Structure 1
Amino acid sequence: MFKLLGRLAVVDDSGRAINVRAARQQAILAVLVLRPGEVVAIDRLISELWQDVPPATAKASLQTYVYRLRRALSPLAVNGVDLATMGNGYILTVPDRAVDIRAFQAAVAEGSDALTEGEAKLAAKLLREALAMWRGPVVPEIDVELVRDERRRLDELHLTARELCVEAELRLGHHNRVIPELERLVEAHPFRESSWAMLLHALAHRGRRAEALAAYRRMRDILNDELGIEPADELRRQHQDILRGNNALIME
Structure 2
Amino acid sequence: MAAKKALIVRGGWDGHQPVAATELFIPFLTDNGFDVRVEESNEIYADAAVMAETDLILQSVTMSEISREAFAGLRDAVIAGTGFAGWHGGIADSYRNNSDYLQLVGGQFATHPSKHPDELTEGDPANNYLTYTVKVTDPDHEIMAGIGDFELHTEQYWVLHDDLIDVLATTTHPVQPYHPWHRPITSPAVWTRLWGNGRIFVATPGHSPEVLQDPNVRTIVERGLLWAAR
| Structure number with higher helix proportion | 1
TM-score range, shorter chain: under 0.3
* TM-score normalized with structure 2 length: 0.25
Q: Which has the higher contact order (CA 8 A, sep 6+)?
A: 2
Larger Rg: 1
| Structure number with higher strand proportion | 2
